[in-house]
Structure formats: C-alpha cells, structure tokens
Structure 1
C-alpha cells in the first residue's frame, strides 16, 4: 500500500508516540475494505506502540476504522481510505491520540476541553480537496481533547450513496448531530466559535483592550503578509487582522510562477507566509472580518477599524489588503443552487461529479485549467465563454482541445441556472451571435469568471474605481491620510501573488515613511 519512502517517513513520525494506539477496523468483503486493511497493516508495522484489531459492528460504516487507545471506545474515526490530501490528517490523528501535543494556542485548546454538551460531527471530504484537511484535522483534534465530542471523516468517493442522499455537491461539508453545520474551509477557532456562544463576546473584549498599533494591516494574504514583515522589521508595533490568514491563496492549487519556488500548493504557500510573519513580533488576529473604517479625526491621529464582532482596533496607519473573492454569474438560480451543483472549486468538488456531465463558465486560464482537470474525472465537460474566443494561454487551449470529452462554446451568455428544487439539472444560455436561447442538461456548474475585490465595507470612505478596487498611487497611498492599500483589492494591474507581495512591501514602507513624517517634532 505505502511505498518505502512513505513508510520510512511514517516510522520517523510514529517514534513520537507517547502511549499505545489501537486501530479498530470495521470491514466488509469489498475492494475498499481490502485496501484499508493493507493500509492499517502498513501503519502497524511502523511502530510497536500500534495494534490493529477488526470488529464487526453493524451500526458502523464499512470500511472505517477508529483511532483510539486500548480499553477506550472513543477516538477519531475515518470512513474510507484516507490517502491523498487526507494522509496528513491520518498521521496527525495517530500522533494526537498517541499523546503528542498539538501546536494550537493553549487558550484555544483549553476552550475546546471546557465545551459543554454532546457534539457528534461528520465531515464529508474528497481525497483531492486541499481545503478539507484543515476541517478534518480541527474536528479530529476536538474529539481527542474532549470525550463528549466525536468526529467521523467520510470519503465521499467511497460513500457515494450518502453523498446523493444528503445532496452534497461540495466539500468539505460538515454535519453536527445530524444537521448541516457548515461547508468550506474552517479553522479550529472558527468551529469552536460557532458552538461556543460566548466566544465572540470574549474575543471582542480582548481586542478592544489592545493598545493602538503603529501599523494595522487588514487582510492576511500575500500582500498583507509582506506588509507585516516589512513593517515589523522597522521595529514598530504591527498588527494583522485577517478574515483567514492566507486569503485567496488557500483556494489555489498549483503555484508555479512565484519566483524562486518552482512549484508549490496554495495551502502550503499560505502556511509559509504565516510562519514567516510569526518570525517577527506581529500581533496576528485571525478570523476577524472588518466592518467599517473610520479615518483619523485630526492629522496624525488614530485611524479606527471596526470588526464584525463589535471590537474596534486603533492604529496610527492602516494598510488595506483585503484581497478578492470569486465573481458570481449573478443569474437566476445561481444562489439557490450554490453548493447544490453550483460550485467554484474544481479541485475540491470535482470528484463528487464523477461520471456526470458538467459545465465550466469562463475561458480564461482558470476556466480552461478547471475544464482540463475535470475532464479526467467527469463524464463530459462543456466550457462556456462569453467572448468570441478563449482568453487562456495557448498551451492550455491546445491541451483542452485535445480532450475527447470536452466541448467549447464561445459567444455564450449564461442566463439561468436550472434545477429541480433540490439540485442543478441544467443551464440556459444565449448565443450572442444569433440571439438563440439554448439549454444544456448537466449536473454541475463550475464558475471561473474572475474575482471581485473585498471592498464593499469601504464604500464612502476611500475612493473606489468603477470595479470596486481601491484607488492608490505608486506608493500605495489612498485618498485618506494614513491609509494605504495593496494587492488584489486595489487598482494595481495583473492580480498575481508576486505583484501583491511587492505591493504589500511598498505599502508598509510608505506607511512607515508617513508615520515618521507626521510625528516628527516641530
């Protein structure tokens, strides 16, 4: 099952186990069960602290296995064979059940231990989903820390009937006590905050008590991270308030054009950004959504940023690096069938449409790459492009046109997402040349038509372009004294990671220059 290199790496990790671990497998005669049996034997062979037993339990999914300690009947459960992106989740679960401590903040771990109530979580994932491991690992850790919390991570590709019965068309999807709890990437603090009713109030009180910053950065993507490093290196008080550290990079799969890094994946790159920022004395306030910006009342005064939880942060200068989000089609049916066939992540959700016909909306690089990836999984892909020709790079177009199960339709204006009330069953588009309205029968729609800046909360405060981008000059200045901006939320052309990082550095240096000039003695 595991190759020799992976076995050697796993053996090294399992040397950190501090107490015995028991893997309790519930299997049947199927191929997936046989694959899981081989995986568990490979794991057992790497440590004398691990034992494997098989237990025939009619009330438990097959194939699945429980990671627990001998004599204990609770722990972390995986339903399916956790390879791919979830292999890391499996290794972490083995270590944590085996007594290896988590690196999460001590106060957050204590909060999990003190949660009152019974919480039974189920997470549906796909092996190709790069957002799923964060959710799976967070819930696994919660079930290790608190005996009243259980978690089962379920491979949607293995348990396809459950996916269809619950009409799940996007991963990760989480259920709590049988009811839909959430979908998409979630971190431990975010999950805990949703079930701990007093968390937001306590968090706001802590934030309100913070002293004023010299530089406050709103947003934690490449631009925000670069700004934080450059500001902190000046020895000034620096803070980052981010809705999710890493930003849009977390939703990116392959990164092959960041100079000096030949190839990496978005979540890995985002983790490296955060590690670099934490090398300095930067106050990172994650999972914080900005609500309002209040300019300084007098020159050299403090700028205020109000957060969704009611807290107000103050700073001598502010750098806005709130990034962008996927653009919607804004047609009837899109919102109704979001996560019910309308999706924005082909890498995460593609496996859920195995053997089914789908459409990709958008003929740029993102759309063509999505269609190429999906063609290897789904039955058929129809790519719809509004313009008369595709806008993707020539090499991508050649690859796309070589695939036998892909159709390309240009001059296609999507007008409606069709469905049966529960899930998508088609799409309506207009031929922009003839005016003819046509329909396609399909089961999934992957929207890849660009990005929108996250600047709605800034309307009426800083100057925005007609596209909603923050207007800045060459130094990152906005029209508001002491307020700067950088990255995909601004008018800087070419929304690229390397450009955003450079813009973040520029904004930080400009903020520092502004600060020393406005506070110099007369």
Structure 2
C-alpha cells in the first residue's frame, strides 16, 4: 500500500510514539478489505509500539479502530482507506493515540477535554477533498481526548450505497447521533465552540476585556496576514479578528501562480500564513465575524468593530481585509438544494457524483477547469455559460472541447434548480437569443460564477463601489481617516493571492504612517 517514500516518512513519525497503540480491523473478503489489511500490517511492522488485530466485528467492513493500549477503547474508527488527502489525518491519529501532543493551543485542548455532552459522530469524506482533513482531524482529537465522544470517519467512495441512502451529496458531512449536523469545512475551534454551550459567553467576555489595539486587522486571509506581519514588525500592538484564519485560501486546491513556489495547496499556504503571523506578538481572534464598523468620528475616540456575538473591539487604526465568497446564482431551488446536489467545490464533492450527470455553471477559468476535472469522474458534464462565448483561457477551452462527455451551452441564463424534495433532478435555462426555455436532467450542479465581496456589513460606514467593493486609493486608504483596506474586498482590479499580500503590506505600512503622523 505504501511506497518507499511514505514508508520512510511513516517510520520516522511512528518513532515519536510515547505509548503503545493497537489497531483492530473489521474486514471482509473484498478488495478494499485486502488493501486495509495490507496497510495495517505495514504500519504495525514499522514500530514495536504498534500492534494489530484482524478480529473486529464491526458491521462496516473494511474499517479499523485506533486505541491506546493502556486505555483500550474503540472511540475512533476509520471506515475505508484514509489515503490521499487523509493520509496526514491517519498519521496524526496514530501519533495522538500514542501520546504525542497535538499542535493545539492549551486553551482549545482544555475546552475539548472539558466538554460534558455525549455524542456519536459519523463523518463522510472523499479522498480528493481538501476541506475534509480539518474536520477529520478535529473529530479524531475530540474522540481520543474525551471519553464522551466517538467518531467514525467514513470514506464515501468505499461506502457509496450508504452515501446514497443517507443523501450525502457534499463533503465533509457530519452526522451527530444519527442526524445530519454539519456540512462543509469546520476547524477544531469551530466544532468545539458548537459543542460547548458556554463558549459564546466566554468569548464575548474575553474580547470585551481587551485593551484597544493600535491596529486591528479584520480578516485573516493573505491580505490580513500580510498587514498583521508588517504592522507587528513595526512594534505596533496588533490584533486580527477573523471568522476563520486563512479565508478563501482554505477552499483553494492547487495554487500554481504564487511566484517562487511552483505548486502548493490552499490549506498548506493558510497554515504557513498563520504560522508566520504567530512569529510575532499578534493577538489572533478566530471565530470573530465583524458585523458593524463605528468610525472614530462617531465614538469620539477609537474606531470600533462590533462582532456578531455582541462583543466589540477598539483600535486607533483598522485594516479591512474581509475577502470575498463564491457568488450564488440566486435562482429558485439553489438554496433549497445546497448540499443536496448544488455544490461549489468540484474537488471536494466531484467523487460523490461518479457515473452521474452534472452541470457546471460558468465559463471562466474556474468553471472550465471544474468541467475538465469532473469529466474524468462523472458520466456527463453540461457547461452552462451566460455569455455568448466562454471566457476561460484558450488552452483550457481546447481541452474541454476535446472531451467526449461534455456539452457546452452558451448564451444561457440558468432560471431554476429542479429537484424532488430530497435531491437535484435537473435545471432550467433560457436561451438568451430565442427566449426559449430548456430543461436539462441531471443529478448535480457545480456553481463557478465568480466572487462577491464580504462587505455588506460596511454599508453606510464608508464608500463602496456599485459592486460592493471598498473604495481605496493607492495607499489602501478608505473614505474614513484611519481605516484602510486590502485584498479581494476592495476595488483592486485583480483578485489574486499575491496581489492581496502586496496590498496587505501596503495597508499595514499606511496604517503605521497614519499613526505616527496623527
């Protein structure tokens, strides 16, 4: 199962085990069970602190538990093979079960161990999903550190019938005590906060107790990270309030245009950004969604940012870097069938539509790339583009047109998502040339039509463009003195990671310049 490189890496990691662990497999006679047996045998052979048994009796075959020998339990189970993006999750599960400390703040770890509720989690993931590992690893840690919880982590491709029966059409998907609970990427902090009934009150009290910052960065994507690093290096007391550190980068798979780095992945880059920011004395406040900006001219002192939980932060200067999010079609049925056939991440959810018919909405680079990727998995792809021609790079268009299972429809306005109440069954579109309505029967719709800035909360507080972008000058200054902005939420013409980083640095330096002059 493991090549020489992975074997060498795993052996090195297993040398870090502090306590013996045991793997107990429940296997059948199928090919996946044989692969699971092979994987577990190879792992056990790499360390004298790992033992393996193959006499498990769980109904899901193949599956296996990971438990510390000294405190044998079966609270953590992988069903299917955790390879691909989940191999790291497997390694971490082995290390944590063996007593190696997780790289989690003591505050969050204490919160996890003190959770008093009792729940059984089942989570479905795909091996190509780059959003799934965070959820897999969060549930893994919770199950290993708190006896009130169990976690069964299920590879959807191995259990396709189960996925279909339970109506799972997007991953990550988490069931709690048998009922659907969460869908989409969540961090350990977010999941722990949802399980901790007193978390919000504690967070509000902690934030309200903070002294005013010299610079408060709102948003933790590439622009926010760069701004925080530049201001912190000036010796300025800096805070970062972010709904989730990393921003939209966390939802990006391959990144091949970040200058000097030929290829990386969004979650990896986001982790590097957070690590770099933490090299300085920056107060990072995750799970903090801004809801209102009150300029200093109204408060008579500091700028104030009110958060969705009711807490507020004050600062001499503010840098807004709230980024953007995927644009919705805003047609009947889209919201009703979100995660029931309507999806926004082809890499994450594409494998769930193996052998089925899907549509991709949007003919830009993102849409055409999605259609190309999906064509290798699904039975048929219909690409629907509003304009009279696709806008993607020529090389991508040529590749798409070469594929035998792709239909391209241009000058088409999607008008409705159709479904049977449980899942998507098709879509309707209007031919913009003839005004004629058409119906396409399918099982999945992937929306790839660009971004919308996260600035609704700023209406009335400062100048926004007709598209809702924050208007800035060459120094990143907004219409409000002492408030700067950077990244995809602004009028900067090109929404790129490297441009956002440069804009964040500009905003950070401008905030410093503003403070020393005022």
Which residue does the alignment assign to 2:44? 44
How do residues 372-451 of structure 1 correspond to structure 2 at under 5 angstroms? 372-451=372-451
Distance in 2 separating the partners of 1:497 and 1:367 = 19
Paired residue secondary structure (1:121): strand
- Maintained 8 Å contact 1:123/1:173: yes
For residues 107 and 226 of structure 1, the distance between their equivalents in structure 2, rounded to whole angstroms, comes to 26
Indicate conservation of the 8 Å contact 2:324/2:451, yes or no: yes
Residue of structure 1 equivalent to 2:334:
334
Q: Does 1:61 align with 2:90?
A: no
Q: Is the 8 A contact 2:255 2:266 kept in 1?
A: yes
* C-alpha distance in structure 2 between counterparts of 1:154 and 1:298, whole Å: 53
> Which whole-Å CA distance do the structure 2 matches of 1:117 and 1:201 have between them?
18
The match for 1:294 is 294
Distance 1:41 1:433, change over 3 A: same
1:225 matched residue in structure 2: 225
What displacement does 1:299 show? 9.8
SS of the residue 1:158 aligns to: coil
Cα distance per residue 1:385-419 (max 9 Å; x no partner):
00011100111111111111111111111000000
The Cα offsets for residues 292-330 of structure 1, whole Å up to 9 and x where unpaired, read as 100003799310001111111000000000000000001
Q: Are the equivalent residues in 2 in contact too, given 1:157–1:352 (CA < 8 A)?
A: yes
Alpha-carbon displacement from aligned partner over 1:206-256 (angstroms, at most 9, x marks no partner): 011111111100000010011011111110000100011111111111101
- 1:166 corresponding residue in structure 2: 166
Deviation readout 1:358-392 (Å, 9 max, x if unpaired): 00000000000000110111111010000011100
Question: What's the TM-score, normalizing by structure 1?
Answer: 0.98
Structure 2 counterpart SS, 1:318: strand
User: What is the total number of aligned residue pairs between the two structures?
Assistant: 517
Distance 2:426 2:298 in 1: 57
* Structure 2 CA distance for aligned equivalents of residues 106 and 119 of structure 1: 23
Q: Which residue of 1 aligns with 2:458?
A: 458
Match of 1:74 in 2: 74
How far, CA to CA, are the matches of 1:233 and 1:194 in structure 2? 35
In terms of mean alpha carbon deviation, does 177-186 or 293-302 score higher? 293-302
Asked if the contact 1:333/1:416 (under 8 Å) is kept, the reply is: yes
CA contact (8 A) 1:290 1:307 kept: yes
Alpha-carbon spacing, 1:32–1:299, altered in 2? closer, same or farther (3 Å): closer
Which residue of structure 2 aligns with residue 123 of structure 1?
A: 123
Aligned residues of 2:360 and 2:381 also touching (Cα < 8 A):
yes
The DSSP-based 3-state class of the residue aligned with 1:331 is: coil
**C-alpha distance in structure 1 between counterparts of 2:45 and 2:375, whole Å:** 38
Partner of 1:199: 199
Q: Which residue of 2 aligns with 1:241?
A: 241
| Unaligned runs of at least 5 residues, structure 2 | none
- Partners of 1:223 and 1:402 lie apart in 2 by 38
- In the alignment, the residues of structure 1 paired with residue 21 and residue 84 of structure 2 have an alpha-carbon distance, to the nearest angstrom, of 23
Please tell me whether the aligned partners of residues 75 and 97 of structure 1 are also in contact (alpha carbons under 8 angstroms).
no
What SS is found at the alignment partner of 1:271? helix
TM superposition shift of 1:92: 0.1
Aligned mates of 1:117, 1:397 — CA distance in 2: 52
C-alpha contact 2:24 2:56 (8 A) present in aligned 1? no
Write the distance in 2 (CA, Å) between the matches of 1:420 and 1:298. Answer: 52
Q: List aligned pairs for 1:301-320, cutoff 5 A.
A: 301-320=301-320
Other structure's SS at 2:169 match: coil
Determine if the alignment matches structure 1 residue 355 to structure 2 residue 355.
Answer: yes
Question: Equivalent residue of 2:369, what SS?
Answer: helix
Q: CA RMSD in A?
A: 1.1
- Residues 324/246 of structure 1: CA separation in 2 closer, same or farther (3 Å cut): same
